[in-house]
Structure 1
Amino acid sequence: MTGPALRDQFKPGDHPHDHFLLTTVVGAAPKPKWHNRARDQFEDPDADFGRSEWKEAKDDAARLVTTDHERVGLDVVTDGEMRRNEMVEYFAERIDGYEFNGLVKVWGHNYFDKPSVRREVEYGGTWLVDEYEFTSTVASRPVKVPITGPYTLAKWCFNEVYEDDAELAAAVAELVNTEIRKLVDAGARYIQIDEAALATTPEDYAIVGDCLETVVEGIPEDVYIGLHVCYGDYSRIYPEILEFPVDEFDLELNNGDYGQLEVFEEPEFTKSLGFGAVDVHTAEVESVEEIKANIERGLEVVPPERLTISPDCGLKLLPREIAFGKMRNMVRATRAIEAELDDGTLEVGDRGVGLGN
């Protein structure tokens, strides 16, 4: 199974249009306030709030977000990463060899519990399988699993053991591969690898590519692999990234008002494109018409069968009602574009879109 057929496994059987633009989210959703209060209670040694109560709170939050994703009509859903505290910390806590030393100031008044690698990393147990299995029991639609990539897990820590970041990343890549194999065995068919660090150090794209080769080794052909890269100068990694062994690139393009779309004009973008059609940095819900215009920009790069519509990045910093409204209008706009493609009022050429007569 390759190309559009690989992605079409996520098309609903009762989909209303011949054309299909896959809709999903990048990952993290806003956490309900009661979820955060429950966490505070769990971390308070004087509170009567134990591990089972904390698990119940996380389950409830995951169920709520997954249901919201289905209510707005997303084709592929997540649990909004309700069980994760941060994209590096969560995994570092589960990888033998990582240790925590305290908070490190990142910018302004923001702090990050940056881990250290104190000994060779080892796989000590599953990271996401329980999360995936729970979400699958709640969801009636396919579930995507975001997982932080090995390069970011290596770059955003203090490396006290390995010769350099490349050697550490290669070691972590083997662990990520182990986890993805377990997820696939559990039924996962859409895996998104998050390499946020690539945007800040684009000169290391070759290291990321080598790690991805390890990450996908032995993964069945019917598993759809996406790579999310946060905002950066994509001209510094394109077209080299087309050699990466992934099916889809999810790129943060709305953040720059799509000014970097021209980067992908030459040579031709040959992968599927995860296209941010709404802005996660503004607490305003875009209109359906605004989002439709954004989607048409994505169709300038790839045809419909290779375009995935999502927010630009995670929605976790937005108010819940704003995040819900953005997703709802995003799906409505996507279905409207599909209808226009079906009736010919919107025509797509080999590499671009144009308005029909």
Structure 2
Amino acid sequence: MNYQTHILGYPRIGAQRELKWALEKFWRGEIDASQLEQQGRELRKTHWREQADAGLDFVSVGDFSFYDQVLDTACQFGIVPARYGVNSANLSLTEYFTLARGNQQHAPLALTKWLDTNYHYLVPELADDCEFKLNTNRLLAEIKEALNEGHCVKPVILGPVTLLSLCQLEGKSTTTPLSRLNELLPIYVELLENIQRLGVSWVQIDEPIFCTDLAPDQQLALSRAYENLSGVEGINILLATYFGEVRNHLNLLLTLPVAGIHIDASQCDEDAIRAAKYLGSQKVLSLGIVDGRNVWLNDLQVSHQLVEKIRHHVDDSQIWLASSCSLQYVPHTVANESNLEPQLRSWLSFARQKLDEIVQLAQPLESLLPAIEANQLVLAEKLLTAGVIDSAVRERLAEELPNIDRNRTSYQQRKHKQQAALQLPLLPSTTIGSFPQTKEIRKARAQYLSGQISAADYQQFLQAETRECIHKQEEAGIDVLVHGEFERNDMVEYFASQLAGFASTSAGWVQSYGSRCTKPPLIWGDVSRLQSMTLDWVKFAQSITNKPVKGMLTGTTTILQWSFLRNDIPRRHVSQQIALALRDEVLELEANGVQIIQVDEAALREGLPLRNDKQADYLDESVDSFLITTSGVREETQIHTHMCYSQFNAIYESIIALDADVISIEATRNQMKLLDVFSQSAYPNQIGPGVWDIHSPRVPSVAEIKSLIKKALYYIPAEQLWINPDCGLKTRGWLETEASMKNLVSACREIRAELCESAITH
């Protein structure tokens, strides 16, 4: 046995979120570019050392980014819109962050979800006159850093076909991004030649698009691309696929003239076995045998058995063992989780532990056996742990689910009763839910959790923050208010802390985009509601205003997508358990006089399977869970939902099936283009497309917001349109929030006046 070991990428934010803190200091002007670069070097050095110390044969280089790897790749090849007025060959960090975050003069690039993950990438814009040119300064410098540390280096590059498939065309171009492939390939060749001159022989090129339903032009592009790239002398290409099954594209993958292929064996071991069977004797097969997207202990016995099956078809020297995908989607290390129950902690494997699992699986069987025995004991004990199976939860599901009527009365009938109850103006304004989580709020939460202040003092502090938030919304003129969610550290973790079957980590941070990190909860057992979760805060907020205050919940699918899901029962069973718990909460809110209840499904589109034939089951499960949660309310109760950056075409019918009275969506960075599908099919209910990009610190002007509202009115009748930001305001500051909120209301009022004047004139 002589298996080579590696990973496809490593978390970049640092075990203590060092990158996050450094980025935010740089943006505040507290450190300069050289200090930020130094922090980057220190993190890379630490991460390479962790990989080498674990025993990996290669360390991955090029997986680090100060914001986003897709943006880095676009800049590396000169794909930078001319409107920013920057030179991509000599891009400063300030200019780089302008592309990512915008400033008062420039809106940022569009932001959307990376395939079916909760990671966001910046969408490259490709203009007809864009001239591809190579800027290798950063990547080559990082390769040299790793070589100087004595590491065996494997650079990681996003492949040309996936890159172009992610691009959107700038302006009114009539071409397609893939039509530019022949111009881009020589630049990739030049990059590989530069890497080869540094003495590096293996390069990982990522083409995750292989795990989607490839169009014919994409298949041709992949063939053409790797016929060109494989001709670089001295470079061995490891073509990496991940996030699912290769399936019918396996023949194409095997026929490409590359030195090796990587298969996501954690998602489909059949792909790996078929690949081994037809691989031939000259190529490497990298097995993504350790799941890079979940946090549970690898079943070493199952993984070892798969490797043994592969050995029937290829020589040991052709087998590499790896993570299924980059490890950036899991937290850094279990070692920092001192507050978890020891038993639960023993079930976990974060990025650092996954390195050990990969190296263990590369050992000869006699060395591996003790680890397998210990591993199997832990997995067996897990199944017997109280709470993993809760008979009361399962009996309730079996009894109640078949009897829940998922159908509400018609929307038209509900609409009139809701308007009579709420008396809202034309183009009602609202916000999505959260308001700025200031340093003072975070400090008070930390003091409460550490016992430095009492529960009563903390409650009093949060009530004061909520009262001020209501006052500021009223002062701005917002029509439908929210309480601000100051008691919540996270829109998923807050609910997880009050549901049986969940656990929260203390340091399990994962990058969402830039400096934004999330801490996904762990779903380890059967789920039920332990107590009322939201009622007290919405009741308090409603007691200090005459305007309606929304009850705020996170929906089932979003909780599932933004948690680490248990892997021992079907996902649908977990979905039903959560939906029933949330139904209890919704009915309690309504019984206590809450007239508007928002059930956020921010991640519904994100979780859509990459393969078309798996999408119907997923959408059916998602819609059913939403209806379980919301269908029990009266006609007068208005149900809202919210969805994050998405392409809605594939889920439009499911959005209608949710039957929410009002849906709000992120639309600013796409200039309302997302509304096209809602217009074409005459969306029947009400919709609030975002008119204020909350992912950027800039304050949109009244004119900008009016322009977006007018674009929205092109697609949506005024009677169905709501005015709101793109998303929650948790990460923004109060100064920009208040200014933006007032501009939003001013724009809304001016448009209302124009509509009224137009109606009178006509």
State TM-score, norm by structure 1.
0.89
Where does structure 1 lack aligned partners over 5 or more consecutive residues?
348-355
Equivalent residues of 1:28, 1:80 under 8 A apart: yes
Tell me which of 194, 208, 212 is aligned to 2:622.
Answer: 208
Give 1:64's aligned residue. 468
Match status 1:10 vs 2:422: yes
Match status 1:139 vs 2:553: no
Tell me which of 641, 647, 651 is aligned to 1:227.
Answer: 641
Equivalent residues of 1:145, 1:192 under 8 A apart: yes
Tell me which of 441, 446, 450 is aligned to 1:40.
Answer: 446
What secondary structure does 2:669 align onto? helix
Equivalent residues of 1:32, 1:61 under 8 A apart: no
Tell me which of 519, 522, 538 is aligned to 1:113.
Answer: 519
Distance 1:52 1:35 in 2: 15
What secondary structure does 1:2 align onto? helix
Equivalent residues of 1:120, 1:161 under 8 A apart: no
Match status 1:50 vs 2:454: yes
Opposite residue 467 of structure 2, the aligned amino acid is: R
Q: Residue by residue, what CA displacement relative to the aligned partner does 1:73-117 show, whole Å, maximum 9, x if unpaired? A: 111101111111101100000011212344334226655433222
Equivalent residues of 1:10, 1:22 under 8 A apart: no
What secondary structure does 2:731 align onto? coil
How do 1:122-133 residues align onto structure 2 when only pairs under 5 Å count? 122-133=528-539
Q: Residue by residue, what CA displacement relative to the aligned partner does 1:272-330 show, whole Å, maximum 9, x if unpaired? A: 01121111122222221221111111212221221111111111211111111111111
Give 1:78's aligned residue. 482
Give 2:429's aligned residue. 23
Compute the RMSD of aligned alpha carbons.
2.1
How do 1:312-327 residues align onto structure 2 when only pairs under 5 Å count? 312-327=726-741
Opposite residue 28 of structure 1, the aligned amino acid is: S
Equivalent residues of 1:254, 1:312 under 8 A apart: yes
What secondary structure does 1:232 align onto? coil
- Cα 1:308–1:9, aligned 2, differ >3 Å: closer, same or farther? farther
- Cα 1:57–1:339, aligned 2, differ >3 Å: closer, same or farther? same
Equivalent residues of 1:119, 1:161 under 8 A apart: no
What secondary structure does 2:528 align onto? strand
Match status 1:286 vs 2:707: no
Tell me which of 486, 504, 514 is aligned to 1:100.
Answer: 504
Tell me which of 661, 668, 685 is aligned to 1:247.
Answer: 661
**C-alpha displacement at 1:199, in angstroms?**
2.6
Equivalent residues of 2:666, 2:727 under 8 A apart: yes
- Cα 1:291–1:233, aligned 2, differ >3 Å: closer, same or farther? same
Greater shift in the superposed pair: 152-161 or 54-63: 152-161
Distance 1:118 1:183 in 2: 28
What secondary structure does 1:197 align onto? coil
Distance 2:692 2:574 in 1: 35
State TM-score, norm by structure 2.
0.43
Aligned length: 340
Opposite residue 279 of structure 1, the aligned amino acid is: D
Equivalent residues of 2:417, 2:636 under 8 A apart: no
Give 2:589's aligned residue. 183
Opposite residue 115 of structure 1, the aligned amino acid is: P
Equivalent residues of 2:510, 2:519 under 8 A apart: no
Give 2:352's aligned residue. none
Distance 2:487 2:654 in 1: 34
Match status 1:256 vs 2:670: yes
Equivalent residues of 1:117, 1:161 under 8 A apart: no
**C-alpha displacement at 1:54, in angstroms?**
1.0
Opposite residue 541 of structure 2, the aligned amino acid is: T
Give 2:632's aligned residue. 218
- Cα 1:170–1:139, aligned 2, differ >3 Å: closer, same or farther? same
What secondary structure does 2:722 align onto? strand
Opposite residue 83 of structure 1, the aligned amino acid is: E
Match status 1:298 vs 2:712: yes
Greater shift in the superposed pair: 53-62 or 99-108: 99-108
Give 2:197's aligned residue. none
Distance 1:342 1:5 in 2: 24
Distance 1:320 1:291 in 2: 19
**C-alpha displacement at 1:234, in angstroms?**
1.1
Structure (1/2) with the larger helix percentage = 2
Give 2:723's aligned residue. 309
- Cα 1:37–1:101, aligned 2, differ >3 Å: closer, same or farther? closer
Distance 2:633 2:568 in 1: 27
Give 1:152's aligned residue. 558
Percent identical pairs in the alignment equals 28
What secondary structure does 1:344 align onto? helix
Equivalent residues of 1:255, 1:312 under 8 A apart: no
Distance 2:687 2:532 in 1: 30
Opposite residue 459 of structure 2, the aligned amino acid is: K
Greater shift in the superposed pair: 55-64 or 192-201: 192-201
- Cα 1:279–1:157, aligned 2, differ >3 Å: closer, same or farther? closer
**C-alpha displacement at 1:341, in angstroms?**
0.9
What secondary structure does 2:487 align onto? coil
Greater shift in the superposed pair: 163-172 or 34-43: 34-43
**C-alpha displacement at 1:231, in angstroms?**
0.5
**C-alpha displacement at 1:162, in angstroms?**
6.0
Match status 1:338 vs 2:744: no
Give 1:352's aligned residue. none
Equivalent residues of 2:672, 2:689 under 8 A apart: no
**C-alpha displacement at 1:119, in angstroms?**
2.4
Distance 2:519 2:641 in 1: 24
